[in-house]
Amino acid sequence: MSPVSLKDIEIRVLKGLQGQIKLPMEAKDLATIMGLDYAVLMTAVYELQNQGYATFAEQEVDEYQLTDEGKKYAQTGLPERIIIKYLLSHQLKESPLNELQKKVNLEQNLFFIGIGNLKKMRWIQTSKATGEETIYLSVQEAPQIPLEQLLATMIETGGIFANQLEKMDFSTGDRVRDVDANKIVEVVRKRKIAKQVKYTRRLVNLTEKGKKLDINKVVAKTEVTRLTPDLLQSGEWKNVSLKPFNVAARGPSLFGGKLHPVTLLINKVREVFLSMGFTEIRGPIVESAFYNFDALFQPQDHPAREMHDTFYLDNPKVAKLPPEEYVRAVAQTHETGGSTGSIGWGGKWSEAIARQIILRTHTTATTIRRLSEIGRNKEPLPARVFSIDRVFRNEKVDFKHLAEFTQIEGIVIDKGVTLSDLRGLLTSFFTRMGFSKILTRPGYYPYTEPSLTVAVYSEDHKRWFEMAGSGIFRPEVTEPWGIKDPERVLAWGMGFERLAMLYYEYKDIRDLYRNPLSWLREVPV
Ligand code: PHE
């Protein structure tokens, strides 16, 4: 068997441990005794542990430690002991209290504590029958009381563990009240003899192998990280051990410049739609109520138009509208249903309301703009467009709401397209974004019929997340622009930030734009 070889410091610590009479031992005490830095000691202990010579364990300690007062009592005896000892040794069966006080060498307050406790234990009695307060001894002997038993135990070690205390047998003091541990603890606390402390002990011990190892036979080994010409020339290389490389160690993290995760994800979404044959469109952020609401058959008294949902602009104040005939066609769908067979919303449609200027509340305003062009210009079908763009809603900002956010939106215009096409399209989109299961449920939007809400299943969260709204645009939306059955328009829209949060596993939506540096650095791209 080849000789055991250890580093100098390990040999020193092992020797130190073998020299201890009492093990296990607290690491910090060992460090003090050996005059070693704690961290240096611990490194050696870990290494010795790895090699099976030592063990290291952490232990939560709940301990009672003697206070200064407790230590004093432990040395001089409790005041009650001092008094009773005096009485018994002097065969003093009765004595006026103040005389006794002069004879017993105790401070006033301690004397009275002692007298009080002796009375409680019925070792003495007091009476004022003679006019003067007099004490009468009622016992012939005074055995050790539990508190003294405890003090004796504690003075040896300076403390006692709570669980040890619980197990202590105090039954010998049958003449006294305090025979169970709980009561003792109470007394100890009240008399400020000990205090309870909780801490972690770090204990070092030797294993059998460590105890048996003959330190004199251990070869001190020098560890080198590389072979130098000197080592080779001198032949010393034979005596050193090469420190192995830890190939599993992590290298330092380097944070290079990169695109913002929001931009990266937008690009990814963009690529998915482009690869599916879509064209990207953009539209104005400052939009007319006409395109944002009216062209989408949203009634003029619809609650979403209220100030608290929509930002209205003072300047410019009035929007331009498309040529008169189209405005009329939209107005008619609202008032009577126009040529669509619907009865509309009734009432009088107001052009002034449609001319109000707002920050668009959804990018459906942008897709309807594009639809209106396609219809008016009779552009060839199919038409597939998408947009990823900023929208605004007068929301209270919190961890899942922003007043300014991004929507992913799209439409497909073609003859005879159906809900299945819509479902298929959304499934491919979400699959490419990493969600393979989608669920559609009936929904409601003023501009689609039928309407579907779309949820995706997150494997990470093991649950469904509502992600998008979709449907087939109603005739009231498409006919004013000349798009009629069998030409149909599949439409959908969704919040980008929600997708981003699932994609990046992020909890607070605001952080996407607050730009916490640590996240920006670490988020995988
Ligand atoms: N505009 C809807 C929204 O903001 C989404 C939607 C778009 C619904 C197109 C149906 C059709 O939530």
DSSP per residue, 271-297: HHHHHTT-EE----SEEEHHHHTGGGT
Strand pairing report for 222-224 and 240-242: parallel
394-415 pLDDT, tens per residue? 988 888 788 999 999 999 999 9
Spell out a b/e string for 351-381, using b for 16 or more CB atoms within 10 Å of the CB, else e.
eeebbbbbbbbbbbbbbbbbbbebbbeeeee
Between 290 and 180, whose confidence is greater? 290
pLDDT band at residue 175 under the 50/70/90 scheme: very low
Stated as kind and residue range, the H or E segment containing 194 is strand 194-206
d(CA 50, CA 351): 83
Ligand 1 pocket, 495 CB below 6 A?
no
* Count of residues making up the chain: 525
d(CA 456, CA 441): 11
Taking CA atoms only, the protein residue closest to ligand 1 atom 5 is 493
Closest to 200 (Cα-Cα) out of 57, 26, 61, 31: 61
Of all atoms in ligand 1, which is nearest to the CA of residue 469? 8
DSSP per residue, 131-150:
SS-EEEE--S--PPPHHHHH
> Across the chain, which distance is largest between two alpha carbons, in Å?
127
d(CA 211, CA 213): 6
Ligand 1 pocket, 298 CB below 6 A?
no
d(CA 48, CA 40): 12
Residues 6+ apart with CB under 8 A from 90: none
Ligand 1 pocket, 445 CB below 6 A?
yes
Mean pLDDT across the stretch 241-245?
79
d(CA 336, CA 76): 106
CB 83 within 8 A of CB 72: no
The rounded Å distance from CA 445 to ligand 1 centre is: 7
Of all atoms in ligand 1, which is nearest to the CA of residue 411? 9
9-51 pLDDT, tens per residue? 899 999 999 998 889 999 999 999 999 999 999 999 999 999 9
Amino acid at 364: T
Mean pLDDT across the stretch 75-85?
92
Ligand 1 pocket, 345 CB below 6 A?
no
136-145 pLDDT, tens per residue? 999 998 888 8
Of all atoms in ligand 1, which is nearest to the CA of residue 363? 1
CB 97 within 8 A of CB 133: yes
Spell out a b/e string for 22-58, using b for 16 or more CB atoms within 10 Å of the CB, else e.
ebbbebeebbeebebeeeebbebbebbbebebbbeee
Taking CA atoms only, the protein residue closest to ligand 1 atom 4 is 362
Of 358, 366, 409, 478, the residue with max ligand 1 atoms within 8 A of its CB, to mutate for a pocket test, comes to: 409
d(CA 27, CA 41): 8
pLDDT (0 to 100) of residue 292:
96
pLDDT (0 to 100) of residue 264:
93
Of 287, 401, 419, 445, the residue with max ligand 1 atoms within 8 A of its CB, to mutate for a pocket test, comes to: 445
The model scores a pTM over 0.95: no
Amino acid at 39: A
Q: Would residue 413 be called left, alpha or beta, if left means φ above 0 and alpha means ψ between -120 and 50 degrees?
A: beta
d(CA 242, CA 232): 13
Taking CA atoms only, the protein residue closest to ligand 1 atom 9 is 492
Stated as kind and residue range, the H or E segment containing 471 is strand 463-473
d(CA 451, CA 117): 86
pLDDT (0 to 100) of residue 171:
58
Ligand 1 pocket, 469 CB below 6 A?
yes
Of all atoms in ligand 1, which is nearest to the CA of residue 364? 1
Could you tell me what percent of the chain has a pLDDT over 90? 59
pLDDT (0 to 100) of residue 388:
97
pLDDT (0 to 100) of residue 176:
44
Question: For residue 352, what are its two tokens?
Answer: 């002034």
